[in-house]
Structure 1
Amino acid sequence: MDQVLLARSLFGTTMAFHIIFATIGVGLPLMILIVEVLYQLTGDGDYALMAKRWTRGFAVLLGVAIPSGTIAGVQLSLLWPEFMKVVGKVIALPFQIEIFAFLLEALFMSIYVYAADRLSRGMRILSVVLVAFGAVMSAILITNVHAFEGTPTGFKIVNGELVDIHPWEAFFNPSFAVSATHVTVSAYMTGAFVVASMAAYKMLRRGLPQKEYVFHRKALLCGLIVGGIFSALTGLNGHASAQHLYREQPEKLAAAEGLFETTTYAPLTIGGFTDKKTHEVKYGIEIPWALSFLADNRFDTEVKGLNEWPEEDWPPLFIHTLFNAMVGVGMLLLLMSIVGFAWHRLLKRQTFPRWMIWSFFVSGPLSMLGIEFGWIFSCTGRQPWILYRVMRTSEAATHTGNLGTLFLLFTGVYLMLAVVVVVVLRAYFKRHPLGDDLLTEEDGMHV
C-alpha cells in the first residue's frame, strides 16, 4: 500500500476510535448538567440519580478518551513530521491551552463524583458547569488545529523557512468560529441521543417495573428534547459551514455536490453517486437553485465547478456520499425527536409503541455514524492538502517503514479497549442495578 495512504489510514483509524469517546465526553457533561439543574428546580430524585449514574459512565469513557487522544498526539509527530514543524512554530497555542481545559474538567469532575452529596446546591451546579466547560473547550481547541489546516493563516513560507509568524492570527483563523460552533452543537446533539438510545434500550425489556419505566422515560424525553434542539442548531450551523466552504474551500463544496461546471442557479443534488467519467451525479435528485442559495443566500449565485481546478487538486469524489449521509442522519434524528415529543407531550401518551422505542434506540448509533461521516468528510474533503494550498499531504508524510504493522497493532489495541469499555460498564451497572438505586432514593426520601 502507498506510504501516504498507510499513514492516513493509521491516523484515520485512531481518530475514528477516539472521536467516539471524545464526542460523548463533550455531550454527556451537558446532559448531566441539565438533569442536575432539573433536580435542583423540581426536587425530583430521579434526575439526581440520572446525574449520578451518567457521571459514573462518563468517568469510564473518559478513561479511554485520554489514552486514545494521547496516541493521536503521538501519531501526529510520527506520521506527519513536516506538518508538525508548522504546528510547533505556528499553531501550538491550542495544544498548550487544552492542557488547562482538561485539568479544569478533571478537577471538578473529581469534586462532583466524590463530594456531590456534601456540596451546596450552587456548588453542585458550578462543579458540573466547569466540567462541561472544560470538556467543550478541550474539543474546540483541538479541533481548531483541524480548522487551521483548512484555512492556514499567521505565517509565510519563504525558501522553505517559516517566517512572519503570528500565533494568535493562526489561532483565530477564518475557520475558527464555524468549526468551534459545529463541534460544540454536534457533540451536544450526539450526547443527548446516546442518552436517549440507552434509555430506549432499557425500555425494550419485557416486564420492566413501573418505577424503572418512568425513570427511563424521563431520561428518554430529556435526550430527545435536547437532541432535537441541537439537531436543529447543527443544521443551521451546516448552512453557515456551506457558505464558509463557498468562500474558503470552493473545491470541497463542488465535490460535495458533484458539481463539475461553474453554474449560476446551481441545483442541490440529493443522493446518487458522482461519476468521474461522465461528470455527473447518477441517480441523484436535484433541487433547482438550492445550491446557489445555500452558498450565498441568493438563487443566482455563481458556484464554481471542479473543472475550474486541475484534476490533481480535486478532493475525492466520494465525499458527495459522505456529505449526504451526514445531512441525512441529522434530519432523521431531528424527525425522531419531534415524533417522540409530540407523542408524549402533545398526544399525552404515557407509553411508547415498541417500534417507536426501537427507532429511539438506534438514534444513538446513528448520531455516532453522523459524527464519523462528518469527520471523514471534513478531513478527506481537504485532500490533497494537509495545509490547504500550502502543503500537500504527500509532502508532510513520514518515510518511516513498517506502517502496515503499526496499523494492525493499533487496530488490535482499539478493539481491545472497546471490549474493555463494554465489559467494565456492564459489570459496574450490573453490580449497581437501577432498582436498588431507586429503593435507596425512596428510603432517603422517607428518612
Structure 2
Amino acid sequence: MEHLVTARSMFGMTMGVHIIFATLGVGIPLMILLAELLYQRTKDKDYELMAKRWTKGAAILLGVAIPTGTIAGVQLALLWPGFMEVVGKVMSLPFQIEIYAFFIEALFLSIYVYAADRISRTMRIVSLILVAIGAVASAVLITNVHAFEGTPAGFRIVNGEITDVDPWGAFFNPSFITTAGHVAVSAYATGAFVIASIAAFKMLRSRKEPRLYRFHQKALMMGLIVGGIFSFLTALNGHESAQLLYEYQPEKLAGAEGLFETTDYAPLTIGGFTDRETQTVKWGIEIPWALSFLADDRFDTVVAGLNDFPEEYWPPLFIHTLFNGMVGIGALLILLSILGIAWYKFMKKRGFPKWLMWAFVISGPLAILSVEFGWIFACTGRQPWVIYRIMKTSESVTTSANLEFLFALFLIVYAILVVAVSLVLIYYFKRNPLEKELADMN
C-alpha cells in the first residue's frame, strides 16, 4: 500500500472504531438523564431501573472509548507531524479544555453509579446533567479540530512560518457552531435508536412475559420519540452544513452531488454512482432545483461544479454514495419513528407487527452506520487537504517507515477491544438479569 494511503487507512480505522463508542458515550447519557427525570416525575420504578442499567452499559463503553481515544491522539502525533505543528501553535485550546470536560463526565458518572441510592433526588439529576454536559462537550471540543480543518481561521502562514495566531479566532472558526450542533444531535439520535433497537429485540423475545414486555416497550417508545426528534434536528442541521460547504468548500458539495458543470437551478441527485468518464451520476434520481435551494435557499442559486476546479483538488467521487447513505438512513429513521409513535397511539391494543419490530431492531445498527458514513464523508470529502487550501495531507504525513506493521498491530488491538467489550456487556447483563431486578424492585 502507498505510504500516504496506509497512514490514512490506519487513522481512519482508529476513528472508525472510536467514533462508535464516542457517539454512544454522548447519546446514552442523555437517555439516562431522561429516564431519571421520568422516574422522578412519574415515580414509575421502571424508569429508575432503566437509568441504572443503562448507566452500567455506558460505564463499560466509556472504558473502551478512553483507550481508543488515547490511541487516536497518539496517532495524530505519530502519523501527521506537519498538521500537529499547526495545531500545537494555533488550535490546542480544544484539546486542553476537553481534559476538564472528560474529568467532569467521569467524576459524576462514578457518583451516579456508586452512590445513586445514597444521594438526594436533586443531586442524582444534577450528576446526570453534568455527565451529559461533559460527554457532549468532549465530543464537540474534539470535533472542533475537524471544523478547523475545513474552515481554518485564527492564523496566517507567511514564508512558511505561522504568524498572527489568534487561538480564540481558530476555536470559533466559521463552521464551529454548525459542526458542534451536528455532532451533538446526531449522537443523541444514535444513542436513542440503539436503545430502541435493543428494546425491540427484547420485546420480540419476551412476548409471552407481559411484565418484561411492558418494561421494554417503555424503553422502545422513549427511544423512538427521542430518536425521532433528534433525527429531525439532524436533518435541519444538515441543511446548514450544506450551506457552509457551498460557501467554504464548493468542491466538496459538488462531489457530494456528482455535479460536474456549474449551473443554476441545480438538481439534487438521489442514489446512483458518480461516473468520472461520462461526468454523470448513473442511475440517480434528480429532484429539479433542489440543490440550488439547499445551497442558498434560492432555486436560481448558481452552484459550482467540479470542472471549475483543478482535478487534483477534486475529492474522491465515491463521497456521493457516502452522502446518500447518510441522508437516506436519516430519512428512514425519521420515518420509523413517526410510524412507531403513530402505531402505538392508534393501534395500541394490537401491538406492533413483527415486520415493524424487526425494522426497529435494525434502526440502531443503521444509526451507527450513518454516523460512520457521515464521518468518512466529512474527512474524505476534504481531501486532498488536511487544512483546507493551506496544507495538503501529503505534506503533513510522517516519513517514518513500516506503517504496514503498525496497521496490522492496531487492527489486532481493535479486534480484541471490540470482542472484549461485547463479551463484558453480555456477561454483565447475564449475571444481572432484568427479571431478577424487576422481582427485587417489586
TM-score range, shorter chain: over 0.9
Alignment of 1:167-316 (within 5 A): 167-205=167-205, 208-316=208-316
Measured at CA, do residues 349 and 240 of structure 1 come closer, stay the same or move farther in structure 2, by a change above 3 Å?
farther
Which whole-Å CA distance do the structure 1 matches of 2:349 and 2:279 have between them? Answer: 51
**Cα shift readout 1:80-111 (whole Å, capped 9, x = no counterpart):** 00000001000000000000000000110111
With 398-407 and 44-53 compared, the bigger mean Cα shift is at 398-407
> Which residue in 2 is equivalent to 1:158?
158
> Which residue in 2 is equivalent to 1:89?
89
* Deviation for aligned residue 1:352: 1.6
Assess if the C-alpha contact under 8 Å between 2:198 and 2:361 holds in 1. yes
The yes-or-no answer on 1:146 pairing with 2:134 is no
> Which residue in 1 is equivalent to 2:359?
359
Letter in 1 for 2:245: L
Which whole-Å CA distance do the structure 2 matches of 1:424 and 1:371 have between them? Answer: 24
**Cα shift readout 1:271-313 (whole Å, capped 9, x = no counterpart):** 0011101111111000000000000000000000011100000
**Cα shift readout 1:19-59 (whole Å, capped 9, x = no counterpart):** 00000000000000001000000000000000000000000
Assess if the C-alpha contact under 8 Å between 2:97 and 2:141 holds in 1. yes
Alignment of 1:356-435 (within 5 A): 356-435=356-435
Assess if the C-alpha contact under 8 Å between 1:32 and 1:55 holds in 2. yes
SS of 2:300's partner is coil
Total equivalences in the alignment? 442
SS of 2:205's partner is coil
> Which residue in 2 is equivalent to 1:445?
none
Assess if the C-alpha contact under 8 Å between 1:36 and 1:51 holds in 2. yes
Assess if the C-alpha contact under 8 Å between 2:94 and 2:145 holds in 1. yes
Alignment of 1:94-133 (within 5 A): 94-133=94-133
* Deviation for aligned residue 1:353: 1.7
CA RMSD of aligned residues (A): 0.8
Letter in 1 for 2:436: D
Measured at CA, do residues 212 and 350 of structure 1 come closer, stay the same or move farther in structure 2, by a change above 3 Å?
farther
Assess if the C-alpha contact under 8 Å between 1:343 and 1:349 holds in 2. no
User: Deviating runs (4+, > 2 A) in structure 1?
Assistant: 346-351
> Which residue in 2 is equivalent to 1:332?
332
* Deviation for aligned residue 1:207: 5.2
Assess if the C-alpha contact under 8 Å between 1:263 and 1:303 holds in 2. yes
Which whole-Å CA distance do the structure 1 matches of 2:208 and 2:416 have between them? Answer: 32
Which whole-Å CA distance do the structure 1 matches of 2:176 and 2:285 have between them? Answer: 33
The yes-or-no answer on 1:21 pairing with 2:21 is yes
Assess if the C-alpha contact under 8 Å between 1:264 and 1:301 holds in 2. yes
Which whole-Å CA distance do the structure 2 matches of 1:282 and 1:142 have between them? Answer: 37
Measured at CA, do residues 262 and 114 of structure 1 come closer, stay the same or move farther in structure 2, by a change above 3 Å?
same
SS of 2:15's partner is helix
Assess if the C-alpha contact under 8 Å between 2:206 and 2:213 holds in 1. no
Assess if the C-alpha contact under 8 Å between 1:151 and 1:174 holds in 2. yes
Which whole-Å CA distance do the structure 2 matches of 1:206 and 1:76 have between them? Answer: 46
SS of 2:277's partner is coil
With 343-352 and 87-96 compared, the bigger mean Cα shift is at 343-352
Letter in 1 for 2:53: R
Which whole-Å CA distance do the structure 1 matches of 2:438 and 2:392 have between them? Answer: 57
In structure 1, runs of 5+ residues without a counterpart are: 443-447
* Deviation for aligned residue 1:346: 2.7
Which whole-Å CA distance do the structure 1 matches of 2:206 and 2:101 have between them? Answer: 43
Which whole-Å CA distance do the structure 2 matches of 1:158 and 1:298 have between them? Answer: 38
Which whole-Å CA distance do the structure 1 matches of 2:206 and 2:115 have between them? Answer: 36
TM-score by length of 1: 0.98
Alignment of 1:333-352 (within 5 A): 333-349=333-349, 351-352=351-352
The yes-or-no answer on 1:441 pairing with 2:421 is no
Which whole-Å CA distance do the structure 2 matches of 1:164 and 1:119 have between them? Answer: 50
* Deviation for aligned residue 1:206: 5.2
In structure 2, runs of 5+ residues without a counterpart are: none
Assess if the C-alpha contact under 8 Å between 2:207 and 2:213 holds in 1. no
Which whole-Å CA distance do the structure 2 matches of 1:397 and 1:227 have between them? Answer: 39
* Deviation for aligned residue 1:208: 4.2
Assess if the C-alpha contact under 8 Å between 1:101 and 1:138 holds in 2. yes
Give aligned-pair identity as a percent.
68
Assess if the C-alpha contact under 8 Å between 2:206 and 2:212 holds in 1. no
Which whole-Å CA distance do the structure 2 matches of 1:273 and 1:349 have between them? Answer: 44
Letter in 2 for 1:375: W
SS of 1:113's partner is helix
TM-score by length of 2: 0.99
Which whole-Å CA distance do the structure 2 matches of 1:20 and 1:202 have between them? Answer: 22
